[in-house]
Every structure is written in structure tokens, then in C-alpha cells.
Amino acid sequence: MGKERPDAVVFSDEQGYNARLLPYASNVGAPVIKMDDLVSWKSRGITSVNKEFEQKFNELKSQYQKLMEEYEWNELVYNARFSFEPVIGEIYHLYRGDDGINFLSLISPEEWNKEHIGTFKLNSDKKWIVLH
């Protein structure tokens, strides 16, 4: 049984000789059609995006830890005993009293022999900033 046309000829019964209509090359001398390697492209993309997410997560985690530390210091100072209204911009020192209760004072640790917890400055937002 012989063929009417050779294998290299593109022909369909509906469209006839349709090589010019195909979205790909159909002759023997045409370049090889290779499928793109999407698996490696996806894995590179996933790796890149995961690194970015990890970096952003670590940044947020660091900011959260810093915020919690500031909160704990502010809670410690605001729960301390003091009998004056602190002035914004002034430096204050937090001490542990003999009775175990913390108190705030203007007296520096060099001038006084008490257990010094920290040195703070009150900013305009009424937030205590740790200096030492």
C-alpha cells in the first residue's frame, strides 16, 4: 500500500496543504521544538519568593521583639512608685527599693548606693526611652 504523499508534506483533508497555517514549523529543516522547563522556573521562583517572605518575617519578628521590650520597660517604669510629675525630656533613674518595690528618682546611680535598674528619658509621646 503506497502513500499518496510523503511524510514530510503537511496535508489535511479539511484544509489541504496547511503548513503555512500551523503555529509551529513543520519541515525537516525547521528548528527543534523544545518544551520550556517550567519545573526549574517554578522552583527558582518559589525559592526567591520564600527568601523574600522569610526576610520580611524576620524583619517583622525583630520589630515585634523590640516593641515588646519597649512595652515591658514602659510598664516597669509606669508601675514604679514616684511622687512627682515627670517632665518630658528629663532623665530619670529607676531603682529597686529595700522593700522590693521599684521607684523612680532624679538622683543618679553615682550619687546613691541603691540597686539601679535603668536610666530613662520621657519623650513627648509619654513613652519612656531606655538610656542605660
Residue 96 has a pLDDT of 93
- Three cell numbers, residue 71: 512595652
25 or 130, higher pLDDT: 130
Give the single-character DSSP code of 19. G
Is the confidence at residue 132, as pLDDT, over 90?
no
Mean pLDDT of the chain: 87
Q: Is 121 exposed, middle or buried (0-12, 13-18, 19+ CB in 10 A)?
A: middle
Residue 39 has a pLDDT of 87
Name residue 35's amino acid.
M
18-70 per-position pLDDT tens digit: 777 777 777 777 777 777 788 888 999 999 999 999 999 999 999 999 999 99
Give the single-character DSSP code of 23. S
- First-to-final CA distance of the chain: 98
For residue 105, what is the enclosing H or E element?
A: strand 102-105
C-alpha atoms less than 13 angstroms from C-alpha of 127 in its C-beta half-sphere: 8
